[in-house]
Amino acid sequence: MNNTFKAYQVEENEDGSFSSEVKQVPFSVLPDNEVLIKVHFSSLNYKDALSATGNKGVTKSYPFIPGIDASGEVIEDKCNTFTKGDKVIVTGYDLGMNTSGGFGEFIKVPAGWVVPLPEKISMLQAMIVGTAGYTAAYGVTRLKRELVTPQSGEVVVTGATGGVGSMAVFLLSKLGYSVTAATGKMDQKQLLEKLGANKIIHRNELYPEKKALLNSGIYSAAIDTVGGKMLEALIPQMQQDGAIACCGNILGHELHTNIYPFILRGVSLLGIDSGITKMPFRLKIWELLNEVANGFPKEAYKIVHPEQLRVEIGKILKGNQIGRVVLKHSA
């Protein structure tokens, strides 16, 4: 094995700006953890874009290799939990935040972060899913815990053409739910239909003409990927015993609401933190994905190489990412 490997690395310049390039980096940049993994695929998430542009709330020090997702094969495991050649997945925890991530050809992580690749999905399919699909599946699982079933009524997904949103529409549809996709990109109607949306609305339709403490109960549940005013608008529109899985803040981190949807309709607001999930629950979510993740439309993802990442990062920061972006490392 060579002394260096290829990676998309971000550096902080003397003037405080940040730059990135694909370059050979020494293995010494990897932390001293138990499991060395050769990365075959990663994926692009909003958090990766923040790390790649110098957001110190995500990544504290640079130079750094982003990438919160990785699928690949084990090269070495110091604690013998895994065997050389095992195909595995790593998503979340500190990967790609302050631990060198999947935008490099190798990662070195604690054994407790590593999930065996489920038998029905490939390493590529695992990264089509990635943190976005895992987050969506986590949200669906929480809704099911709240006894939201396909018979309960419509489930609305906000940010429906984004990474988490597109996966949420797809997974809910495969599980038999009636899905309303809310988006600002009405030109993507055909794609949302292929993902399984039963109804497609412009996101502005979720804002009531007249703001009230309680609006008509329209939806049995929601997966909200954007937060802010959109989440504020959704809460009063939930049916009795409705539930909202909340997993994004692109429209803002503040939430202004009132108590009545919660005490008069029994609405539940469910926080989704897919980064730090206890391993038994994490494995259950991947078991669900193992059964339903296949068949994600080809039109809803693209495969890129490290040299193309900078352009894709710019798109996701501007809200222009459609579906999933998968990073493929050369063999």
CATH classification at residue 90? 3.90.180.10
Burial class (CB in 10 A: 0-12, 13-18, 19+), 2: exposed
Instruction: Identify whether 289 is part of a domain.
Output: no
Question: What average pLDDT does this structure show over 221-249?
Answer: 94
The number of beta carbons lying within 10 Å of the beta carbon of residue 1 is 9
Question: What average pLDDT does this structure show over 7-31?
Answer: 93
pLDDT in tens, 131-158: 999 999 999 999 999 999 999 999 999 9
Instruction: Identify whether 246 is part of a domain.
Output: yes
Asked if residue 207 and residue 243 are part of one domain, the reply reads: yes
Asked if residue 96 and residue 22 are part of one domain, the reply reads: yes
Identify which has the larger pLDDT, 250 or 230.
230
Asked if residue 13 and residue 76 are part of one domain, the reply reads: yes
Work out how many domains the chain is built from and give that number. 2
Asked if residue 265 and residue 136 are part of one domain, the reply reads: yes
pLDDT at 249: 83
pLDDT at 252: 83
Instruction: Identify whether 304 is part of a domain.
Output: yes
User: Which residue in 77, 65, 73 sits closest to 90, CA to CA?
Assistant: 73
Beta-strand relationship, 115-116 and 301-304: unpaired
Asked if residue 261 and residue 204 are part of one domain, the reply reads: yes
pLDDT at 214: 81
Reported confidence tier of residue 248, pLDDT bands at 50, 70, 90: confident
Question: What average pLDDT does this structure show over 43-70?
Answer: 94
Beta-strand relationship, 179-183 and 199-202: parallel
Cα R_g (the chain), whole angstroms = 20
CATH number at residue 140: 3.40.50.720
Reported confidence tier of residue 43, pLDDT bands at 50, 70, 90: very high
Instruction: Identify whether 284 is part of a domain.
Output: no
In the predicted model, is pLDDT for residue 283 greater than 70?
yes
Angle made by CA atoms 88, 90, 94, in degrees to the nearest 5: 155
State which residues form the domain around 103.
4-117+297-328
Reported confidence tier of residue 331, pLDDT bands at 50, 70, 90: low
Domain end position, chosen among 253, 271, 289: 271
Domain end position, chosen among 230, 254, 271: 271
The number of beta carbons lying within 10 Å of the beta carbon of residue 250 is 15
Asked if residue 96 and residue 179 are part of one domain, the reply reads: no
Instruction: Identify whether 142 is part of a domain.
Output: yes
In the predicted model, is pLDDT for residue 1 greater than 80?
no
Instruction: Identify whether 48 is part of a domain.
Output: yes
Asked if residue 234 and residue 112 are part of one domain, the reply reads: no
Q: Which residues contact 134 (CB under 8 A, 6 or more apart)?
A: 91, 92, 274, 285, 286, 289
pLDDT at 18: 93
Asked if residue 167 and residue 98 are part of one domain, the reply reads: no
Asked if residue 149 and residue 108 are part of one domain, the reply reads: no
Q: Which residues contact 290 (CB under 8 A, 6 or more apart)?
A: 118, 119, 120, 121
Asked if residue 140 and residue 93 are part of one domain, the reply reads: no
Instruction: Identify whether 277 is part of a domain.
Output: no
Asked if residue 314 and residue 201 are part of one domain, the reply reads: no
Model pTM score? 0.91
In the predicted model, is pLDDT for residue 104 greater than 80?
yes
Question: What average pLDDT does this structure show over 237-260?
Answer: 91
Instruction: Identify whether 202 is part of a domain.
Output: yes
Beta-strand relationship, 106-109 and 35-43: antiparallel
pLDDT at 275: 85
Q: What percent of the chain has pLDDT over 90?
A: 82
Asked if residue 47 and residue 161 are part of one domain, the reply reads: no
